[in-house]
Amino acid sequence: MPVEIKVGPPVLTINQGTQFMVTDERGEIDGASEQGVFGGDTRLVSYYALYVNGAPWTLLTSGTVQYYASRIELTNPALATDLGDLPAQQIGLSVRRRVTHGIHEDLDLISYAEEPVHVQLEIALRSDFADIFEVRSHKFVRRGNTQSRWHDERCELKTTYVNGDFHRGVVFQLVDFDSKPQFANGRVVFDIALHRGQLWHTCACYHLDDGSGVRSTAQLCLRNNENSHDELGTLQSEWKSRATRLSSGNEDVYRAFAQSVEDVGALRMHEQDLARNVWVPAAGVPWYVALFGRDSLIASLQNMMVSAPFARGALQRLAEYQASAIDDWRDAEPGKILHELRVGELAHVHKVPHTPYYGTADATILYLIVLHETWKWTGDQSLLREHVDTAKRCLEWVDQFGDFDSDGFQEYRTRSSNGYENMGWKDSVDGVMYPDGSQVRQPKALVELQGYAFDARLRMAEVFDALDEPNRAGEQRAVAARLRERFEEAYWCEDIGFYAFGLDPNKQPIKSLASNVGHCLWAGLLRPDRAERVVRRFLEPDFWTGWGIRTLSALHPAFNPYSYHRGSVWPHDNALIAHGFKRYGYADECSRVARDIFEAASCFAGYRLPELYAGLSRQPGTFPVQYLGANIPQAWAAGSIFQLLQAILGLRGNAPEHHLYVHPTLPHWLPDLQLIGLAVAGTRLTIKFWREGQRSRWEVLQQEGGPEIKVIEEPWIPWPSA
């Protein structure tokens, strides 16, 4: 019987909203690492360690029990004490943590020694108040002043940081203790005497000042309240009760789906809530706990079959930050949708332009796609009326600033002195290169931007038809038709049998083989005969790993399977590509990619897909290799599971006409599937799909609430005309 291998980062991450804690498996924080307690884009605790009589505890086991809770079990090493030598493993220390509005920690000791024991439990912690960008880059510049003070009467260590009008702080308070703490040599010290079987307890509360006020943790002591239910659990339960549920005989699919629903809810930024059921997820933990444009919109697209109203939060919040003027420092232009909003010290003192920063070429176009898709699943005409002005400003940006040289293609360039070199989804500084490996300079017209723009225009034509604006609708269709024709002329490269990665500053094709072309399959832009060549090319060994499709061909001189964008595998990228395969009629190829991602998910701890993993080829006895520093959980990695299933089932909402289209092509590894509570136009459907011989069958088992939905089997094809 083969040994099951689970891959995962050697850290424990718990989070709630914009507050999160990353420790090693011992539950401690290495001061030289990227770990810590974070809030307001600041590392509020940069070092944490537990000692017994000055020696480190021995780890037994640890893990996260909820996305916001962890547990660590430790025991003592062999010690010399004032009562004599204490053998190893005589005392157990249990550490239980929960992130609420701060962090609550329960520490419980128990003695199994035959004789009385006398030990000191020591807690060491420090704060560097580093900005999140500094933590990630490992370049920390101290600008302000830090002060720490121990209050003996309140049993708390208060540490504050001030730089002008920027401030952060943390109060580490001990409560409900069985022996009073002292403070000496930079450590909180408890003097503890125990008889065999005797318990000792204390609570530690981290009250976090993240710049928006002190977030005081609730008194959630588990000693007398082991089964307490808090607001976080309630909100998560509400999210899961509204989300589509899935059952299947394929355990990997079932578990990956359930974990992805859990992860999306775990990323909820409560500080960004617009209403109880209108909220926005963070892009990922630990690096992207912030409002993002591209990530929020793609995650919203992926969640349509799980909860279409989920997109309302992103549409509303991003509209509020839509740029209204040119601001070179922030790469802002009228109508543009933001890339990233930060509130840390570097943003506060204008060392970085993220207040917010608008350096993205795709978020503004994706906003239009998400608005249309949300309407198609909810049928809510008021949503269109609410956001039509935002959408019109987005289109004005697409026409004027997205195509600043008026050649009909979307391109980008930065004007900010601290702006991004690359503004597509591959936004690393070395993410766009020529076939010889040299870097392409700005401006760049990436291939996927043309696909997004084509798709967005045809979708907005439907929106304008629905809003009784036929002239605008006709204009968008005409522009889309011209784009389709000119795209084939400019981007197809017969000598490589593939579309260009993009156009360089001289409008010459960048003939590097990259996964971005697959996004144009999803958008329906590619000519069908050439689309077939693209599909076949993606499944050749230099692209296809067996764990998914690489971002860059392994034959490219710049290929590096361990890099961020030069040959790694991204689940969300693969989901878009697989969806494109299905759209063009390549169901088997779609299922092949989906199988890769689901089997990769089964190898990761808890079936939780990371942001990306290494682009190494799958061989017998191997497993996917996680990218060092990948965000886990990550919104569009979790959402890729939903999009892959949507592709296999061929699901498309048409709520305005009370229709749901299906086109199931279940592969042999997924012989049955049932969706429970799939929402279309407010009606919740239960649909059973199963494989019968070589055919896929389906049956609607139940409809409840809302209008009657007519389910129609019909394939999703490229836009037949523009």
DSSP string for residues in 507-548: S-EE---BTTHHHHHHHT-S-HHHHHHHHHHHTSTTTB-SSS
DSSP string for residues in 230-251: -HHHHHHHHHHHHS-EEE-S-H
Contact assessment for residue 556 and residue 532, using Cβ atoms and an 8 Å cutoff:
no
Amino acid code (one letter) for 267: L
In 3-state terms, what secondary structure has residue 110? strand
638: closest CA among 184, 263, 242, 272? Answer: 263
Q: What is the pLDDT of residue 233?
A: 78
Peptide bond into 610 cis (omega under 30): no
Tokens of 379: 């049928």
pTM confidence score: 0.96
**How far is Cα 146 from Cα 158, in angstroms, rounded to an integer?**
10
412 DSSP 8-state letter: B
Q: What is the pLDDT of residue 276?
A: 82
264: closest CA among 678, 698, 637? Answer: 637
**How far is Cα 35 from Cα 315, in angstroms, rounded to an integer?**
32
pLDDT tens per residue across span 341-396: 999 999 999 999 999 999 999 999 999 999 999 999 999 999 999 999 999 999 99
Query: Which residues touch 446 (CB under 8 Å, ≥6 apart)?
Result: 361, 410, 412, 424, 432, 501, 502, 516
Contact assessment for residue 126 and residue 138, using Cβ atoms and an 8 Å cutoff:
no
How many beta carbons lie within 10 A of that of residue 695, not counting itself?
Answer: 10
Going 339 to 345 to 346 to 350, the CA torsion angle's sign is positive
Each as own residue / partner, the long-range contacts of residues 490-497 (CB below 8 Å, 24 or more positions apart, any chain) are 490/409, 491/447, 491/450, 492/527, 492/530, 497/533, 497/537
Whether domain 11-218 has CATH 2.70.98.40: yes
Equal fold, 11-218 vs 235-657: no
Residue 412 pairs in a beta bridge with 444
How many beta carbons lie within 10 A of that of residue 142, not counting itself?
Answer: 12
Whether domain 235-657 has CATH 1.50.10.10: yes
**How far is Cα 175 from Cα 218, in angstroms, rounded to an integer?**
12
**How far is Cα 492 from Cα 560, in angstroms, rounded to an integer?**
25
The helix (H) or strand (E) run that includes residue 692 is: strand 683-692
| CA atoms within 13 A of residue 619's CA, in its CB half-sphere | 4
How many beta carbons lie within 10 A of that of residue 437, not counting itself?
Answer: 13
420-to-108, 331, 358, 413, 566 alpha-carbon distances in Å: 48, 9, 10, 9, 17
291: closest CA among 263, 262, 313, 276? Answer: 313
**How far is Cα 3 from Cα 52, in angstroms, rounded to an integer?**
37
Domain ranges (residues) in the chain: 11-218, 235-657
**How far is Cα 580 from Cα 647, in angstroms, rounded to an integer?**
8
In 3-state terms, what secondary structure has residue 709? coil
pLDDT tens per residue across span 612-663: 999 999 999 999 999 988 999 999 999 999 999 999 999 999 999 999 999 9
**How far is Cα 597 from Cα 250, in angstroms, rounded to an integer?**
14
Please list the rounded mean pLDDT of every run of 10 residues in the chain (722 residues): 66 94 97 95 98 98 94 97 96 96 96 96 97 94 94 97 96 96 96 97 96 69 58 85 97 98 94 86 95 97 96 97 98 98 97 98 98 98 98 98 97 97 97 98 98 98 98 98 98 98 98 98 98 98 98 98 98 98 98 98 95 97 93 96 98 98 98 98 98 96 96 94 62
Going 586 to 587 to 590 to 595, the CA torsion angle's sign is negative
Going 488 to 566 to 300 to 638, the CA torsion angle's sign is positive
**How far is Cα 296 from Cα 311, in angstroms, rounded to an integer?**
8
Tokens of 409: 């293609």
Going 291 to 294 to 298 to 301, the CA torsion angle's sign is positive
In 3-state terms, what secondary structure has residue 503? strand
Tokens of 651: 């699901």
Contact assessment for residue 293 and residue 320, using Cβ atoms and an 8 Å cutoff:
no
Beta strands per DSSP E along 282-378: 291-292, 340-341
**How far is Cα 255 from Cα 237, in angstroms, rounded to an integer?**
17
**How far is Cα 66 from Cα 104, in angstroms, rounded to an integer?**
14
Tokens of 415: 């004007």
How many beta carbons lie within 10 A of that of residue 200, not counting itself?
Answer: 20
**How far is Cα 46 from Cα 43, in angstroms, rounded to an integer?**
6
Q: What is the pLDDT of residue 1?
A: 39
2-to-238, 602, 625, 639 alpha-carbon distances in Å: 39, 14, 19, 30
Beta strands per DSSP E along 154-220: 156-163, 166-175, 182-184, 187-194, 199-209, 214-215
660-to-175, 515, 527, 657, 718 alpha-carbon distances in Å: 56, 30, 27, 9, 18
Each as own residue / partner, the long-range contacts of residues 150-156 (CB below 8 Å, 24 or more positions apart, any chain) are 150/183, 152/182, 152/183, 155/180, 155/181
